[in-house]
Amino acid sequence: MVDRIQRLQRLETVVYTMDKMVTGAKENSILPDFLAGDRLLMIAHGEVVAGIDFSNLKTGDVTVENRSVHLRLPAAQVFSVRLDSAKTRVYSRQTGLLVPTDPNLETQVRQEAEQQMREAALADGILLTAQQNALSTITSLLQGLGLEQIAFDK
């Protein structure tokens, strides 16, 4: 039974898709922004994927007796945060007259967008939703294998 569940490896149970407006700036402590500043405003589009990783499931986490099974599932986790480059756009960029455009600023703003998306998904309860969806999926899988009583540790 553990082997069959482990074959699932990672069960992605929820995907949040969202847009975030993110800003970034490089400032000079001496000169004003119109001379030495670099500002960027980006509209980032991406997704946050969460679910259950079954690779750490142990034999003691699953107890089978007749047509009953008792499971201790791993906690849900965020698997990935990905920006969709085709839908992510730099909305505006203002560079001072005396400085070149900073090639790293957009990368930093993209990383900030990913972090904000992760935090927004966590605040919205993505892990709880992932756990509930996993319970439903595993229940259906085990019922399909002929088990009648299915219980989970919370």
pLDDT at 2 over 80: no
The CB-side HSE value for 124 (13 A sphere, CA atoms) comes to 16
Query: Chain-centre distance of CA 85, in angstroms?
Result: 16
How many domains, in total, are found in the chain?
A: 1
pLDDT for residue 94? 76
Q: pTM of the full predicted structure?
A: 0.80
* Domain with 70 in it: 2-152
- Encode pLDDT of 95-124 as tens digits: 766 676 777 878 899 999 999 999 999 999
pLDDT for residue 100? 67
Q: Is 109 exposed, middle or buried (0-12, 13-18, 19+ CB in 10 A)?
A: buried
Question: Contact 10/79 with Cβ under 8 angstroms?
Answer: yes
Residues 145 and 68: their CA atoms lie apart, in Å, by 11
